[in-house]
Amino acid sequence: MEKRLRQRAVLPVVAACATAAVVGTPVAVAAPDGTFAPTAASVAIGHLVATTGVDPARAAHVLAVQRAGAVRIHDLDRRLGARAAGGYLDPRTGSAVVNVLDAPSAELVRAAGATPRAVRYGTAELKSVQAALELVPNTSAGLDPRSDQVVLTVSDAAPPEQAAGLLDAARGFGDRVRVERARGVFRPLVYDGDEISDGQSVCSAGFNSNKGGQNYIIDAGHCAQGLPYWQGIGPTEDARFPGTDYSLIRNDSGDAPGAVNLYDGSTQPIAKAGDATVGEQICKSGRTTQVTCGSVQALNETVDYGDGQTVRGMVKTDTHADHGDSGGPWYDGSTGLGMTGAGDTVSVTWFQPLTAAIAAYGVALNP
């Protein structure tokens, strides 16, 4: 009986974005390109009101405009090139703030409709500091453009002597590094003790995609180690973990909608992929914690889980997730952002950027 229950636990997860026909297709809620479906919007607005103090109407406005601001930030980052210093979204307005190192950069940012903010350090310098920090298990480091710093996160589960050495090295970089504390072990969010190769493991499906007339699911790499066959779906064709954290599962079920299960009979349509931005209000879906929302805290994070498992290029959030949510989709309205990677199951969760997986596999998201 235990095996049967666990198999059934996997199927609704896959139905979240891939094979809803297996267990009954959720009723889609119409949502125009760029907007949150009602269920996700309600959770995201609640988070924004609680963390910023804005009223619900202002929070709804932030959700409506923030993706345009995020696109503007990433475009300006590319245009500034070596002069780039990062950018973030103002959580109270959703507008783009772009860090600058000189007057010409400020003029460029203003002309593009964003707000320039003078900072001391640029992206290149902070990345060099990040690379110099030799992480130990249960620590991470990434860039926070809001403070113009590298944020070093150290869990209380980190080996004490190694953590002390890392913190001592961090102090040598002065105000270029900020230390934050976390609780618990950093690890991929798959149920402990389950073996993904035997069909028992509980993960969540990511994003439906296609290439050459074949449907696929983009998922977390750590879920698909050993290239298991997913019951009712199909085989895993590729899995990459550690280093990065994405996989490609062949979807032979005949059902692959471009929508995310919101676990109340409705779905969030996904129209395109995009890159996350610090300060962006985002949501995730997963079979364990269902729909939870929060904000992006840092980009390009390197996370050390221990045992030689280090992943780079992750996005750090303050959103709750738990075991079984691994692989589940993260989104800003109809823009897909990534797949759940790891966390401390309390308040820190990382996701693998979706755009990197799409580029690696040459697939397109399903409409």
The residues assigned a catalytic role are 222, 245, 326
Residue listed under structure tokens 């973030």: 88
Ramachandran angles phi, psi of 336, nearest 5° = -75, 135
Q: Among residues 263, 320, 281, 226, which one has the least CA distance to residue 54? A: 281
Cis bond before residue 242 (omega within 30° of 0) = yes
Q: What are phi and psi of 80, to 5 degrees?
A: -75, -25
Residue 342 in tokens? 């790891």
Do 328 and 339 meet the contact criterion of CB atoms below 8 Å apart?
yes
Q: How far apart are CA 318 and CA 201, in angstroms?
A: 25
Say if CB 262 and CB 43 are below 8 A apart: no
Instruction: For residue 362, give the amino acid letter.
Output: G
What's the CA gap between 335 and 349, in Å, rounded? 19
- Find how far residue 64's CA is from the centre of its chain: 19
The residues facing 334 across adjacent strands are: none
What DSSP assignment string belongs to 166-205? HHHHHHTTGGGEEEEEE-S--EE-S-TT--GGGT------
